[in-house]
Structure 1
């Protein structure tokens, strides 16, 4: 059963967000009194008395943790290995802040608690325009948290993914500001150790601010305490931006390591891709240590996204190459030197940054988003009117839903920040192939999560790097540049959400891989990822009209799995996560023969479905009882023997044309409306990318650089003419 109106009223009052008198006065002022909990919830959001996030948590019976000391949580805005971040408001000052909370499972880990407090101390030391300001820190009901400045903007990683690569002057302007913040931090004895685009925020005025000092080290002589928190031989940082010396000895990384990471960030801003590719963590670590640094000028020219003056690009490349020198002694020794060098690059024409627009701003269209988000919650709590499949009850939802506070579900893109014990493996290698050692280790630990397995692999290999013969530039097969998706149109946020069928695309017939709906499919044999982190699966596809039973377009199987599917009338998405098995159906009607962009997302808690860039209103989620299946990625269908236990035994082969498919870590689409990328391209978080615009035979080539090539069974390529 759903939540009654009186139950919802009691939950609002118990949450501490509104008093009984205030709630009564609010209802009295409405044009018509609410008759259901859903009507009252929507009214509270529309009249801006509560946020959509608060209403969802109160409705689910989790509202008692939305007030923390003097702060009221309004929305979840981020998450990482060291905690969850919320937008909050101070009760008396009415100041909007960002509030970071230590995850509940880390509270029992004394080292994690000490490291969290160490971050608080690091932030408290710093007061600079290019560093996020700390306001407060405390513990309440066993919850450790600290309060910082709320930056109304986006991080540079999101900015590049959303708007495309930066111009040369923009990138230099951003880096100069970041270097100013770093220089100040270094002067205060704080080494960041995790500089990367996602840890640099740019606000509406174009000001860059450094954040996330969770891995910071104090260069203040307190070596024993810092080493205790880091651990003997521990490896900490983000692989794609980590200096060679930090990978080998994290606890002694100094300011020059931060400069290396900042140089890798400059590369990303101008190219949209990490400095070094590689389909494994180990290969990328080795590349940072041994491979010759590729030419920034050549990559920027190949991208053709902008044409900087040749003299400017040459000067920037020179600075970049010195920032990322393999030997710390060959780099700039201080961030101040970096600032001087970058400013000299643009002495004749000033570098500049640009103000940015956050992903969403408050507008009339938000009412559509809030309504859709609330409707998803209301649907969760309603009983499904079907004799064979039961939807979760309100009580089950309260137990199974994302914990309101603290939030444990990961958000956004999975970060490869790792910690592990290197010393145990330093002297283990006695010769032989690094690759074979890695493969053997993967075989022994294949049930581990990607993050844990990646950490173990690092430990095994790093001790052997010094004995490995140096790579030559000729032997390097650099990954092709990864252009990013074009930005959505400015009016995309104002397109009203509709339950009706999305508009048909007007493109001419396109090339693609044709699946017959009988026994055609693609199998990706080396797909070992577990769908345990947020993910986006999207495709351009033209469905045929001769399929009446359910068919799986994409099946990511394993202990936790996700599938995009269709029947004769609808598109849908299903997921199995920690025993929470759900399927949702789009209310819009599937139109055979029309090319369409379909995207399914899982944010760590909820699944969403988008057709042609519009979030779909869906029927209430249905529960089901499938068990585990064979771990793997299947496209266009799945052989019956590979399907999860408890399956009905019917085949699930797709009938239609698949034009392209991309799988990405993190939720790419968080708004109700966006402009689907006409061409799917790889970027830093792409796990697999299949393009069928050119002839294929028996292999589906993965264009992401991850080498997840698939074997084609039966499907044939068509030119689409």
Structure 2
């Protein structure tokens, strides 16, 4: 379908609608096999140049309905009816539609094994093996339509890697094997921090494999599914990273052609890396003809080259027309997805979705709380129907998004959540303090810009602006999903006011060597280190300090736990306590009761928390006094930072460390405090 015009796609879509109406009538009349409506009357009048594409779309509907009604389907029957269509098309459609109730004749089964059996046999073949060449397999990471991905380690170099191995049942599919080799060729040409690095490639038992770096993180599709839409400040950081990688790839004359959230991996440092170059195309090189032939074969088999929900209109019409502006369109769709939690267009079928990209107006960017109007304008430009109306290069996108990062938030125009096309100016009368800054020298303005870019905006508060904190009533908590447990060395810090001396865990990072700041009348820190619990708690010295703001810090240097209260190192003692292994997750105010065993599942904090900061290093020495900070800010080594002066959006708090963390609140509220 890659060479069809919009008008031709519309005609095929019309025939599909007409045929589905006939199928629904057939269902209402009792689903008799003898009266099943064939597709021939619906395709016999279409122009010859789109006949095969129309057959492929409509026969898929016929197969689906016949299988659901329990009918037997023979490939030979379909070939007899449509001799000009490859039997591979019918085999593929049958595999896609198969369910447990399907009865498939022997001539189908011998040509195309059942998809479920194939996956099981394919996976077991390598799970039973322990190595591929110099790589020792450690476990399966995932799988898809093309292959299976394993975690492995190089025996000599002791380097963890990911190995993608083509499925065994696909190695005789020439066009798919070419696609796999194209990914190997493309990724081998690229070396950039925002593109997954290729280390090696080869073939085992006739199956090609690709060895790449192992990235510890989550793709943006699953991130949004798990955490919801990203705040715009976080989303543009991810898009800048992706644009940097694509800018480099375009400079190497490589077009990705399948940019989507599932191919953008967010690592634990908050940076994005581009995955899956299986559809990448080399431009203006000696390889162009080979690539064009391979693309034509993919199109001939009925495959849509790319992912419909994020595909540029010109790429859907003719995949050979895709250039860097097609990647720009797809990246604009990804940005829309990150901000809203859904793709810009969603039809009932692939054809419907492609038609919406080609003909429907660009949807309004409706985001709770709004986004800067200039960001909304950029999304509209990136998703323009005509490539000529889009930004000219990835560098243009990087520059415009970077400018938004540095923009004064008090003068940012926000697109209304009700009408994204109508910008609403917020904070048109800035506080007097900022007015004085603007009237001051260029040096002061430079300091302000630096502070904004470094995430230090909370330092520049208007004197009359009330401080904000999160109030916990003894039953609530904030959960921040984490991919791993705490670092090998760390500093936990909180600015906190405790109002009840009941035993509680106000800051707890589960998983691995899980660590918690707790209060049992006095402050303490505990860590589950190498399977053994370790504790440090301030000895009891009279009544606990309630109703007063304190800066509490706990450190672990790999050997010793220490506690600091208001900048003073405090003598401590060990205690007996039970800890058990847990799965990763960070909790503020208490832990989700389902994550811990009794009685730990009911240790909730009562009081106020102004800010939380976690660093991957020890900030305070064992005998070192320090002036407790009034505000916890971002600096080197910070992996988690929540300053609760920033309002929550739909119960979600945004981390200010730059690591794209989101905290979801349960039974807490944000309040103004005089601190």
- TM-based fold match above 0.5: no
Q: Quick check: which has more Rg, 1 or 2?
A: 2
More strand by share: 2
* Bigger RCO (CA 8 Å, 6+ sep): 1
